[in-house]
Structure 1
Amino acid sequence: MTKNTPVTIKDIAHALNLSASTVSRALRGMPEIHPETRQAVLQLAQEWDYQPNQLAKNLVKSRTRTIGVILPTLSYYFFSSVLNSIEEAAMQAGYSVVVCQTNESYLREVAQIQNLLNSQVEGFIISLARDTQDLDHINRLLRKQIPVVIFDRYAEGIEASKVIVDNKLAAFKATEHLIENGCQRLGCLAGPPNLLISNQRLEGFKEALRKYDLPYNERYVFHSDFTQENIMMQALSMMALPEPPDGILTMSDRIAFSTMYALKQKGIRIPDDVAIVSFNNEPTCIYLSPSLSSVNQSIQEMGSQVVRLLLKQLESEHSIPETVTLSTQLMVRESSMLSKKKVS
């Protein structure tokens, strides 16, 4: 048995000097098995991470043609839109999709993966929850050679195929746009400190400041947990600084929406007092007053690419993890366009 080979009943039987049928009955809790034997079998099965449904071996014999999709939430435009693209691409390939939400919970993410395993999905498409830091449940799938593709929210340390954007470059260009339009004191409303894509965007923000010889100050960086109340509090705290920023990069449109609402309630004008640029380019951006400048991601292509990478694994026994990095485009609107008088 090698490191990446799924554990079988025969492996456990050989290790304990039992017959495969005895091990099988012990795992199923059959009463004729001696309690000590059952305990030994269950303990070794747990230590060796034995899974009853060995998908990697069973796919050839019994195809369910079902893909498990695990998302942080469907209440965000970005994830619901990517899901639409995933479902369309999967349907065209003859697969159906089972969708689970984690509601940003690590524990729920672990449970949903197990639920989908029990349903015998053939592979997984996953965007990590906000609270996920321990990656063992993902790496366990990879050790079992179960096809996995990660998109948007990922983590270093997962050797799986993924579809992402260059968050650092996109944030750099968005921040550069603010600077070129006259902003001198730049603030950043980031996501949770442990969220990789937020930290990558923060790095792009810092790099733009370095390029233009502008100071980076930790006081101008606020981390939010994506709740409206927390975002509004953070935005108002930022603007209450002795020298508040005149330009803000927010990590998502949802953060920008709450920020703009809070600032308007305090009479802070956008973009005259503070310019704002965001990420995701939700359709609502164009209907706001002022309309919101935002980084557009190729949502349709992201969905089709994750399905393509997953199908490639399902059709090959020896696929190598791939990373697809999609391009972005800053959609410039009123929220970041300062008056010519201020710029000059």
Structure 2
Amino acid sequence: MAKSKSIRMKDIADRLGVSVSTVSKAIKGSYDVSAKTREKVMKLVEELDFEPNKQAQSLLQNKSYTLGVVVPDLDNSFFGSIIRGIENIAYQNGYNLIICQSHEDSVRELSDLKSLINHQVDGLILALASSTKDLKYLESLKARNFPYVLIDRGNDDLGVSQVLVDDFTGGMNASKLLFETGCLNVAHLAGPEKLINATEREEGYKQVCEDFGFDPLVVHCEFNEEKSFEKTLQLLQKHPEVDGIFAASDRIAVGAMQAVKSLGKSIPEDVSVIGFSDLAYSKYLEPALTTISQPAGDMGEKAMKVLLETMKQSEDENVNLAEKFVYQTKLIIRNSTKEIIQ
């Protein structure tokens, strides 16, 4: 039979002399339909070949072939790179994406998650908002065996697979560079408290301070330029001896650099600055920002592959494999730090 581009469930029903409801139930495998009728329906479905009509395929396999992705900030090129990685693997496997941003707001994040579930997505990839503390909804999804994967910002308590970077070692490498270039008073502009990746970077900084015999100086701020500008001004006015700043993100570093310049200080001659993420614009700053690079695209691809495997596992309620995949960071030395003292 010739393939039609406009075949509908009603067309199948009319050809077989049954109701649309019967066709729908037969496609879904409902036991309300006799084996003989189901066989006729499925035979015609195959003859008409609904592919690439996703609606038919979705009904046949009880899948929407749509996935949800929730990240904190789409303006952040790090998350943009993660999404590109996710999209590459999703496309190869016939999935579409619905992308939401929480704006680092836990209330908005919860609303996004509920909306995606209502849209019957087959799975989720989530980077937690910095303000998220209540995990009850995510725990309920896990209890229902709904497949989702955490990326960048993990939480071991949820018992789901995670794709992360080694933030502790990255924090150590950033801090170590500042001391190795001759800085004697290194401060850390840390991310939000209780955000796991920010905490790990802070712990890496503190470890290096201990190794070099210096007291840590930590100031917490949000992952944005305006707040870090204000916090850096306060820091340098209170501690003018600071000659090195490790910022927990490139966005924090940008605000810090502007604050340093506004006080008439030079970078890196008076104050060295190093960031974390290697955002797209970081190499174009003046001076170009030394930073810690994260393999965002690879992380996105891995998260999508893990989600595909998790969705397969979720079909078997006895399978519950939660794995943690940790990527290493890379130090990118540019002009916002001095040369290492040999």
TM-score, normalised relative to structure 2: 0.79
Partner of 2:260: 263
Evaluate the alpha carbon distance shift between residue 213 and residue 158 of structure 1 in structure 2; reply closer, same or farther with a 3 A threshold. Answer: same
Task: Kindly tell me the number of residue pairs found equivalent between the two proteins.
Answer: 281
Distance in 1 of aligned mates of 2:259 and 2:239: 18
Q: Tell me which amino acid in the other structure corresponds to 2:160.
A: A
278, 284, 288: which is aligned to 1:287?
284
Match of 1:100, SS?
A: strand
Partner of 1:194: 194
Distance in 2 of aligned mates of 1:271 and 1:121: 49
Match of 1:75, SS?
A: coil
Partner of 1:241: 238
Give the 5 Å matches for 1:12-161.
Answer: 61-161=61-161
Match of 2:203, SS?
A: helix
Distance in 2 of aligned mates of 1:331 and 1:236: 26
Partner of 1:323: 324
Structure index of larger Rg: 2
Distance in 2 of aligned mates of 1:214 and 1:153: 29
Tell me if the contact between 2:260 and 2:271 (Cα under 8 Å) persists in the aligned partners.
no
Mean CA deviation greater in 101-110 or 302-311: 101-110
Tell me if the contact between 2:168 and 2:200 (Cα under 8 Å) persists in the aligned partners.
yes
Deviation of the 1:296 alpha carbon: 0.6
Q: Tell me which amino acid in the other structure corresponds to 2:290.
A: S
Evaluate the alpha carbon distance shift between residue 242 and residue 146 of structure 1 in structure 2; reply closer, same or farther with a 3 A threshold. Answer: closer
Match of 1:334, SS?
A: coil
Evaluate the alpha carbon distance shift between residue 167 and residue 175 of structure 1 in structure 2; reply closer, same or farther with a 3 A threshold. Answer: same
Distance in 2 of aligned mates of 1:322 and 1:155: 12
RMSD: 1.7
Partner of 2:308: 311
Partner of 2:335: 334
Partner of 2:183: 183
Distance in 1 of aligned mates of 2:59 and 2:147: 11
Distance in 2 of aligned mates of 1:288 and 1:107: 34
Tell me if the contact between 2:223 and 2:249 (Cα under 8 Å) persists in the aligned partners.
no
Match of 1:189, SS?
A: strand
Distance in 2 of aligned mates of 1:236 and 1:284: 23
Evaluate the alpha carbon distance shift between residue 148 and residue 309 of structure 1 in structure 2; reply closer, same or farther with a 3 A threshold. Answer: same
Deviation of the 1:63 alpha carbon: 1.2
Long gaps (5+) in structure 2: 1-57
Match of 1:240, SS?
A: helix
Tell me if the contact between 1:238 and 1:244 (Cα under 8 Å) persists in the aligned partners.
no
Distance in 2 of aligned mates of 1:242 and 1:252: 21
Partner of 2:247: 250
Deviation of the 1:184 alpha carbon: 1.1
Tell me if the contact between 1:130 and 1:195 (Cα under 8 Å) persists in the aligned partners.
yes
Partner of 1:272: 269
Q: Tell me which amino acid in the other structure corresponds to 1:128.
A: L
Distance in 2 of aligned mates of 1:323 and 1:138: 17
Q: Tell me which amino acid in the other structure corresponds to 2:307.
A: L
Distance in 2 of aligned mates of 1:146 and 1:240: 50
Q: Tell me which amino acid in the other structure corresponds to 2:311.
A: L
Match of 1:145, SS?
A: coil
Deviation of the 1:61 alpha carbon: 4.4
Q: Tell me which amino acid in the other structure corresponds to 1:69.
A: V
Deviation of the 1:319 alpha carbon: 4.2
Evaluate the alpha carbon distance shift between residue 283 and residue 227 of structure 1 in structure 2; reply closer, same or farther with a 3 A threshold. Answer: closer
